[in-house]
Each structure stands twice: as structure tokens, then as C-alpha cells.
């Protein structure tokens, strides 16, 4: 996805519900003031809007790091500590978030920017004359929309309850583009069930029309891998197992030979099913900013450090993941996962798919694709940890924590599996983000989450 920054000024369009934006990060063609309605009448214009959607989805506020930080700081119980000066991140860490938290606002704002851009592509794809190319662009737009809504619902809605009606408030579903002030709506919040239904509709439709390979952009297997993650969050284990197995069995992705080679890559690694592209041109790696010290591109003193308690979850001192750290100048322990300032941010690694398949098979009592023991030993062997001779569900969940640590899963796994963090129950109101106050002020149809 070698996205280069191109510029189109969306002049004259305001951001009332933040479904559209006119800030420079969205600009698409150099040094021109062009109305959106003119841009979307050409193939090049629609393609540029899709590129912008990728850029925003992978930006610092969203899947370039902002969403990861929210999940890790809210969901980790004594495994990491925040020692930085950003009060917005500190609020995550101490579970006392305000309605004016600008990191929360950034997640909401940029999510709906990316969604609106995906909607613009879908509403104007008929300008793409080649049918195969049109289908590809539509599939990519639906992938982006589905992926962003999945992040929104996990952060701003209460946990999906398997077998429940899931009528708890989710987030507004906006499926049509907003191009000017006359089109701005004031949507209310859809239910958690409705949002998950739309996510899977988008991803299923994207899967059906995307090719098996699409360079660094979303392809069929990227979508199926994300579906496995969505199904797992819903505790739909059979569907999660089958989706993960399809990617493992049929795609060309392979585990890196060494654990360390899965991270800090300027180009996609061979186990990257999808990664958000970070370059000097399009901005910083937000994970590097807060998880690395100043001499590696981060902030002075290291904002987020790894505690000794994390080391205690390992059962083998030779496990390379246990030593995948380095000390900052002040002695605080930094994760090596985010050492490079302009490295790509992995979104879905093949290792996660093995973990999903193992967990789902274990819960179902099946061995679809391979046994849970073999899948977990495949992950352990790559990290130089001793193979297990028998396995339980707890073993699999602990292996998941070791392998995917600090990659944005902490809060969502906590909510899915139950338990507590810092004495706070997984389904507590404090672990759901507030609707930003500026959104509440602008839209009378929004309702605030409890506790805010």
C-alpha cells in the first residue's frame, strides 16, 4: 500500500458531525482547490479518495497507534505502566476518562472521516469503467468501513454478548456519504447487534469481490482474517475457526523464522496479512512515539514501560519474547516491538490466526486444520520456547497474551474473556469510552455512555 501523500482541498465543506473534514491530512491532489463533487466524477478522483481512506484509517489517532494505546492502557493490569506527561493517555491508564479527552475525540473524528471517505467511494464507484477494478475498489472501501466500525464498537459500546439480543447502545451507522452542509445528518446510536451485523455484511461483501492478492492493499485473505477476529470477539467459535483456517491453509503468508523479524519492518513482512504503511511522508508510527525512548524516535523518558509482572507470565526463560525488550536511558523497560520510528504497524499477523484457530478448536473439541497443541507449539517453537506435551484452554489464552502483547488486544480480550483490571470488572462503565462532548453538543440525538 505504498501510499504517497497527495492533496485535494475539500474547500467549503465543514465538519459538523465530523463525517467529513477539510484538514490537510485528507488532501488529495497538489495545490488545487477542488470541490468534492468535481473530484468524484473521475476515476482518478475516486481512487484518490480511497487512498485517503487508507491514510486516515492508518493514522496516529486510529490504527497507526491511537486505538492500540487505548486498548493497552485500559486493559493491562500491572503489566505496563504509563510514565509520560500526556494527560489524555494517563486517563486511560487510571481508568478516569473525561468527555473532553482529545485522544478519544481523535478516535471518533478520524473514524468517521475514514468511514465517510469509504462511503464516497462506494457511492461513486460507477465512474470506474473496468468492472474488475470497480469491484476491487468497492471491496477495499467496504473493508475499511468494516474495520473502522469494528474498532469503534469495541471502544464505545458494551461487550457483545454471545446468545444475547445485544440491544445496548453502539455507535451511529452512517452508510451514505456526506459532501456538503445540506447532507449532514444527526444520527442516533445503533445497537451493538446492528453494528456487528453491518460489519460482517461489509466484510462478507468485500471478501466476495476482492482478489486473492492485491499488493499492500486489502485482499480476500485480509478480509477473511479480520472476519476471524470479529467472530472471535462475538464468541462465534465455529465461524472464527473456519475463517482462520481458510487463511492459514489457502493464503501464501508464512510465519517469520524469528520472532523479532515480525516487527520494525519498513516493508510488509511475510507474516503480515495486513500492515498500515508508515513513511516519512505520511507521518510517524504512533506506537513508536509512546513505546520507545527519545533515542529511538519516541518521547523523552519513555511514556509506556513494561513491568516485571509481564515477565512472570512466561514458563520458559529461553523464550525470546520474554527478552524482547531494551532499557531506556532512565532504566525503564521498552518493548522492542515498536523500536523503529517509520516501521509499518502490523494489523493482522499470521500468528494471530494460529492462535484463533487453536482457541476455537479447543473450545469446540475439534481439530480443524490442525490440533490446538500443534498450533500452539508452532508459535512457541518460533520463539525458542519449549514445546508443550499437552494443552488446555488456559494454556492457549496465556500463549495469546505472550505472543500478541502490546499490539492492541488487551482491552478487547479482557472484555471477551471476563475478569477484571485494577479491580474493575471487564464490563464496567469505566472501560467504555465516552462519546466526545463536542459530538454530544452538535448532535441532540446522541446519548452518552453511563458514567459520563
For residue 32, what pLDDT is reported?
Answer: 38
State residue 325 phi and psi, 5-degree precision: -145, 170
Mean pLDDT of 361-390: 99
Share of the chain above pLDDT 90, in %: 86
pLDDT greater than 80 at residue 24: no
pLDDT bracket for residue 179 (50, 70, 90):
confident
User: What is the model's pLDDT at position 185?
Assistant: 84
Cα angle 171-175-179, degrees, rounded to a multiple of 5: 110
pLDDT of residue 91: 98
| Average confidence (pLDDT) over 442-450 | 97
Mean pLDDT of 389-399: 99
- Say how far residue 335 (Cα) sits from the centre of its chain: 19
> What is the structure's pLDDT at 322?
97
CA distances from 309 to 20, 160, 305, 322, 429 (A): 43, 29, 12, 11, 26
CA distance 54 to 430: 30
Phi-psi category of 372—alpha, beta or left, where left has phi over 0 and alpha has psi -120 to 50? alpha
Residue 182: per-residue pLDDT: 74
- Report whether pLDDT(164) > 50: yes
Query: Tens of pLDDT along 208-223?
Result: 999 999 999 999 999 9
pLDDT digit string (tens) for 332-341? 999 999 999 9
Q: Cβ contacts of residue 103 below 8 Å, gap of 6+? A: 61, 66, 69, 70, 86, 88, 89, 92
For residues 181-207, average pLDDT: 95
Predicted pLDDT of residue 448: 99
Query: Of 440, 452, 438, 429, which is closest to residue 105 (Cα–Cα)?
Result: 438
Question: Over the stretch 36-50, which tens digit does the pLDDT of each residue have?
Answer: 677 789 999 999 999
Q: φ and ψ at 98, to 5 degrees?
A: -100, 165
The predicted pLDDT at position 279 comes to: 78
Tell me the mean pLDDT in the region 47-63: 96
Cα 339–chain centre separation: 19
For residue 422 the three cell numbers come to 485494577
Q: What is the mean pLDDT of residues 433-449?
A: 97
Query: Residue 113 pLDDT > 50, yes or no?
Result: yes
Low-confidence winner among 4-18, 256-270, 298-312, 328-342 (lowest mean pLDDT): 4-18
Q: What is the pLDDT of residue 407?
A: 98
pLDDT the model gives residue 56:
96
The contacts of residue 133 (CB under 8 Å, 6+ apart) are: none
CA gyration radius, the chain = 21
Cβ 357 vs Cβ 368: under 8 Å: yes
Mean pLDDT (the chain, rounded): 91
Q: What is the rounded average pLDDT of the residues 277-297? A: 87
Q: Is the pLDDT of residue 11 over 50?
A: no
* Angle in degrees, 0-180, between the axes of helices 220-233 and 237-250, rounded to the nearest 10: 150
pLDDT per residue as tens digits for the range 61-108: 999 999 999 999 999 988 999 999 999 999 999 999 999 999 999 999
User: In this model, does residue 409 exceed pLDDT 90?
Assistant: yes
Mean of the pLDDT values across residues 190-210? 99
Taken in order of first residue, the domains within the chain and their CATH numbers are 1-192+410-437 (1.25.40.390)
Q: Using 50, 70 and 90 to split pLDDT, how confident is the model at 18? A: very low
- Please report the pLDDT score of residue 13 as a whole number: 29
Amino acid at each position: 500500500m505504498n501510499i504517497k501523500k497527495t492533496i485535494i482541498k475539500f474547500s467549503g465543506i465543514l465538519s459538523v458531525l465530523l463525517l467529513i473534514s477539510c484538514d490537510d491530512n485528507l488532501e488529495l491532489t497538489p495545490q488545487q482547490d477542488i470541490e468534492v463533487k468535481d473530484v468524484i466524477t473521475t476515476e482518478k478522483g475516486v481512487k484518490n479518495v480511497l487512498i485517503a481512506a487508507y491514510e486516515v484509517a492508518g493514522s496516529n489517532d486510529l490504527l497507526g497507534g491511537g486505538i492500540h494505546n487505548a486498548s493497552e492502557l485500559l486493559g493491562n493490569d500491572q503489566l505496563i505502566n504509563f510514565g509520560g506527561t500526556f494527560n489524555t493517555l494517563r486517563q486511560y491508564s487510571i481508568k478516569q476518562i473525561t468527555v473532553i479527552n482529545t485522544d478519544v475525540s481523535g478516535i471518533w473524528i478520524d473514524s468517521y472521516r475514514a468511514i465517510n471517505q469509504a462511503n464516497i467511494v462506494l457511492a461513486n464507484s460507477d465512474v470506474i469503467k473496468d468492472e474488475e477494478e470497480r469491484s476491487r475498489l468497492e471491496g477495499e472501501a467496504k473493508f475499511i468501513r468494516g474495520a473502522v466500525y469494528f474498532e469503534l464498537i469495541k471502544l464505545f459500546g458494551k461487550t457483545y454478548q454471545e446468545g444475547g439480543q445485544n440491544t445496548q447502545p453502539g455507535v451511529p451507522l452512517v452508510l451514505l456519504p456526506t459532501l456538503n452542509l445540506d447532507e449532514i445528518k444527526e444520527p442516533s446510536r445503533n445497537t451493538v447487534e446492528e453494528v456487528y451485523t453491518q460489519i460482517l455484511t461489509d466484510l462478507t461483501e468485500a471478501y466476495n469481490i476482492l482478489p486473492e492478492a492485491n499488493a499492500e492493499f486489502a485482499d480476500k485473505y485480509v478480509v477473511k482474517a479480520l472476519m476471524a477476529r470479529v467472530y472471535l470477539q462475538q464468541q462465534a467459535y465455529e465461524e472464527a475457526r473456519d475463517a482462520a483456517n481458510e487463511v492459514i491453509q489457502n493464503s501464501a503468508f508464512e510465519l517469520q523464522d524469528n520472532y523479532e523479524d515480525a516487527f520494525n519492518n519498513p516493508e510488509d513482512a511475510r507474516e503480515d496479512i495486513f500492515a498500515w504503511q508508515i513513511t516519512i511522508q505520511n507521518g510517524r508510527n504512533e506506537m513508536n512515539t509512546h513505546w520507545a525512548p527519545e533515542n529511538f524516535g519516541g518521547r523523552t523518558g519513555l511514556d509506556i514501560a513494561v513491568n516485571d509482572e509481564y515477565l512472570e507470565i512466561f514458563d520458559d526463560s529461553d523464550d525470546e519474547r520474554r527478552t524482547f525488550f531494551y532499557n531506556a536511558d532512565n532504566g525503564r523497560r521498552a518493548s522492542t516491538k515498536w523500536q523503529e520510528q517509520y516501521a509499518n504497524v502490523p494489523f493482522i499477523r499470521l500468528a494471530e490466526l494460529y492462535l484463533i484457530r487453536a482457541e476455537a478448536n479447543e473450545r469446540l473439541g475439534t481439530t480443524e486444520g490442525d490440533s490446538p497443541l500443534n498450533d500452539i507449539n508452532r508459535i512457541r517453537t518460533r520463539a525458542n520456547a519449549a514445546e508443550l506435551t499437552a494443552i488446555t484452554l488456559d494454556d492457549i489464552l496465556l500463549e495469546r497474551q505472550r505472543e500478541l502483547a502490546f499490539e492492541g488486544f488487551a482491552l478487547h480480550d479482557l472484555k471477551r474473556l471476563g475478569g477484571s483490571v485494577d479491580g474493575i470488572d471487564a464490563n464496567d462503565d469505566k472501560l467504555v469510552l465516552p462519546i466526545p462532548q463536542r459530538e454530544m453538543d452538535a448532535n441532540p440525538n446522541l446519548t452518552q455512555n453511563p458514567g459520563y
